[in-house]
Structure 1
Amino acid sequence: MPLVMIVTRDVADRYRGYLGSIMLEVAPAVYISPRMSQGVRSRTWTVLSHWHQTEPSGSVVMVWRDANATGGIGIATLGTPPRELVDVDGLWLVKKPLSPDL
């Protein structure tokens, strides 16, 4: 059961209450759980995703250890443009989509 970290920005107060009930808030809007199972992580993300669909404001980022992902880190995002880790010649980079303005 790996460490899970969730960071929120400009979200409704219910996110803080919910996440604070299942995780430790180590800094404002930064939550960690040292031993969260994949099932609990999945259910937590389902709740956050549903809330974000009904009230799309702010952003949420969840990271966890994933041996099958690039760099061994799984990333899930809501709100801001999604990001993903990519391996470019052995260097890990964060990729985000180009804005339509460019």
Structure 2
Amino acid sequence: MAMVMIVIRDMPDRFHGFLSSVTLEVSPNVFVSPRMNPGVRERVWQVLTDWYNAAPQGSAVMVWRDLNAVGGVGIANLGDPPRQLVEADGMWLVRRRGLSSEFAP
């Protein structure tokens, strides 16, 4: 079992209520579970995905420990995240939206 963190932004109240029932809200719209097994994590994400597909609004990102993923972190998101994740040499880099694909000096 691994720590799971879910952050939501501009989502309907039912997302907040559901996440509050299965995780701990440590800061506004930041939800964590210190020991969530993969089956529960997948079911929670499926509920969020189904609701989002029915009425797309806002965004959500979920991160968890995944030793088989880039940098040891599994990442899933819904909506348009304000940052873009780019894999480079076995780690994640973050690129802000609107910047060119080349890094500035």
TM-score w.r.t. structure 1 length? 0.85
Note if contact 1:71-1:85 (Cα within 8 Å) is conserved in structure 2.
no
Structure-1 residue corresponding to 2:10: 10
Aligned residues with identical type, % of pairs = 54
Which of structure 1's runs of 4+ aligned residues deviate more than 3 A?
81-85, 94-98
Evaluate the alpha carbon distance shift between residue 35 and residue 91 of structure 1 in structure 2; reply closer, same or farther with a 3 A threshold.
closer
How many pairs were matched up? 98
Note if contact 1:71-1:92 (Cα within 8 Å) is conserved in structure 2.
yes
Evaluate the alpha carbon distance shift between residue 64 and residue 75 of structure 1 in structure 2; reply closer, same or farther with a 3 A threshold.
same
1:48: Cα distance to partner?
0.2
Q: Give the gaps of 5 or more residues in structure 2.
A: 99-105
Identify the structure with the greater strand proportion.
2
- Distance in 2 of aligned mates of 1:55 and 1:10: 12
Q: Give the gaps of 5 or more residues in structure 1.
A: none
Q: Is 1:86 matched up with 2:90?
A: no
